[in-house]
């Protein structure tokens, strides 16, 4: 079974078919976050640090780090953000940028094996990003769109994903280091968006043999009660074979849906992660006290 191994200086995370779903925290991204954008522009990274710590505390296995601010020095901002995040937490990171110079700057300061987010099927992007990934023995997110844009036909998107996997192999990048993003469209704008992703994930897993990820919150964009839709989508995607997602672990119902899906997919051995997360602390404490009391009585 395909396993994608990512690491920080001290911690390893494995994305794999028969492993627990990997939650990649999405919060360190200035897109749509005015306060974070303004703070990062002037060199205030306190919110970046707080977001990193909060997401890891909430259960994120990895963090996505993006510094895409228009007219700003993105390579410098991304490098600074990565150094800061690695100084306060030990989880592996996804280095997120569409600018090759920013990816290079981020990789240069990263300690471990990162996930590079991302490469598309566009020829120019393939020829710039894949050599960088190969040179640093990193893993890469392969987004299934190309020069023609994002196709509404899932078979076309599959062909783009296949092309990226094959071109990666030409650069010496193994399939295990390619994580395909089948592209999640807003279900409110495209009623078949969920079905398309589930179909694509199954094909990517069985025919290409690679792991998958997505920007999970895209599916519920524009809808009320978004978290319920996102959580249900992720549970169904896990059922179809998806192995990771860039998501917000601070949304309890989304995280709960992921953990429950792991239980039902057989990826949570003996339901131990679920029990640890959901055990009533009062009941657990009473049980421990009874056990201690029982032992004392037995010793008298």
- Per-residue model confidence as pLDDT tens digits over 198-248: 999 999 999 999 999 999 999 999 999 999 999 999 999 999 999 999 999
Phi first, then psi, for residue 95 (nearest 5°) are: -90, 115
- Residue 204 sits at the vertex; the CA angle it makes with 28 and 14, to the nearest 5 degrees, is 50
Q: Are 120 and 96 in contact (CB under 8 A)?
A: no
CA dihedral sign of residues 86, 88, 91, 97: negative
3-class DSSP assignment, residue 59? coil
pLDDT score at 281: 74
> Any idea what DSSP says for residue 208?
I
* Nearest Cα residue to 101 out of 129, 120, 70, 66: 129
Query: pTM of the full predicted structure?
Result: 0.93
pLDDT reading at 269 higher than 90: yes
pLDDT reading at 25 higher than 70: yes
Give the C-alpha distances (Å, rounded to integers) separating 163 from 80, 125, 169.
33, 13, 10
> Any idea what DSSP says for residue 297?
H
pLDDT (tens digit per residue) in 119-149: 999 999 999 999 999 999 999 999 999 999 9
Give mean pLDDT, residues 91-107: 98
pLDDT reading at 93 higher than 70: yes
pLDDT score at 280: 82
Reported residue count of the chain is 300
Phi first, then psi, for residue 61 (nearest 5°) are: -85, -25
- Residue 194 sits at the vertex; the CA angle it makes with 190 and 200, to the nearest 5 degrees, is 115
| Confidence band for 298, pLDDT divided at 50, 70 and 90 | very low
Rounded Cα distance between 249 and 44, Å, is 24
Task: Compute the 3-state secondary structure of the chain and give helix, strand, coil in percent, each to the nearest 5.
Answer: 50, 15, 30
* Nearest Cα residue to 202 out of 231, 176, 239: 239
pLDDT reading at 299 higher than 50: no
pLDDT score at 296: 43
Phi first, then psi, for residue 97 (nearest 5°) are: -165, 150
CA dihedral sign of residues 258, 261, 263, 265: negative
pLDDT score at 289: 54
Name the one residue in this structure whose structure tokens are 């987010």: 117
Q: Class of 3-267 per CATH?
A: alpha beta
Q: How far is CA 12 from the centre of its chain?
A: 14
pLDDT reading at 263 higher than 90: yes
pLDDT score at 292: 54
Rounded Cα distance between 62 and 146, Å, is 27
Rounded Cα distance between 59 and 63, Å, is 11
Rounded Cα distance between 41 and 68, Å, is 10
pLDDT cut 70: percent of the chain above it: 93
Pull the structure tokens for residue 196: 């398309």
- Write the CB contacts of 159 (distance below 8 Å, at least 6 apart in sequence): none
Q: Domain extents for the chain? A: 3-267, 273-300
* Nearest Cα residue to 195 out of 182, 179, 211: 182
* Nearest Cα residue to 215 out of 17, 87, 34, 23: 23
pLDDT reading at 78 higher than 80: yes
Give the C-alpha distances (Å, rounded to integers) separating 86 from 36, 61, 109.
19, 13, 10
């Amino acid at each position: 079974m395909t396993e994608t191994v990512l690491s920080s200086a001290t911690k390893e995370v494995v994305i794999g078919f028969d492993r627990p779903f990997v939650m990649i925290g999405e919060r360190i991204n200035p897109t749509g976050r005015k306060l974070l954008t303004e703070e990062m522009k002037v060199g205030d990274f306190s919110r970046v640090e707080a977001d990193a710590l909060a997401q890891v505390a909430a259960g994120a296995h990895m963090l996505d780090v993006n510094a895409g601010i228009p007219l700003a020095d993105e390579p410098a901002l991304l490098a600074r953000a990565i150094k800061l995040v690695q100084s306060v937490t030990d989880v592996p990171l996804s280095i997120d940028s569409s600018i090759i110079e920013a990816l290079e700057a981020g990789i240069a300061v990263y300690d471990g094996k990162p996930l590079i987010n991302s490469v598309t099927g566009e020829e120019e992007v393939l020829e710039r990003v894949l050599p960088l990934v190969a040179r640093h023995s990193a893993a890469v997110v392969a987004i299934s769109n190309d020069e023609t844009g994002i196709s509404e036909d899932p078979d076309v998107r599959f062909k783009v994903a296949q092309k990226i996997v094959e071109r990666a192999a030409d650069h010496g990048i193994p399939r295990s280091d390619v994580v395909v993003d089948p592209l999640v469209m807003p279900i409110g704008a495209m009623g078949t968006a969920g079905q398309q992703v589930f179909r694509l994930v199954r094909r990517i897993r069985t025919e290409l043999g690679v792991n998958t990820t997505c920007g999970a919150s895209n599916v519920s964009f524009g809808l009320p009660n978004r978290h319920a839709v996102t959580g249900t989508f992720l549970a169904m995607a896990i059922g179809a074979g998806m192995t990771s997602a860039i998501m917000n672990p601070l949304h309890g119902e989304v995280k709960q849906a992921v953990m429950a899906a792991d239980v039902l997919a057989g990826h949570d051995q003996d339901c131990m992660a679920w029990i640890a997360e959901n055990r009533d602390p009062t009941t657990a404490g009473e049980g421990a006290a009874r056990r201690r009391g029982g032992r004392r009585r037995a010793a008298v």
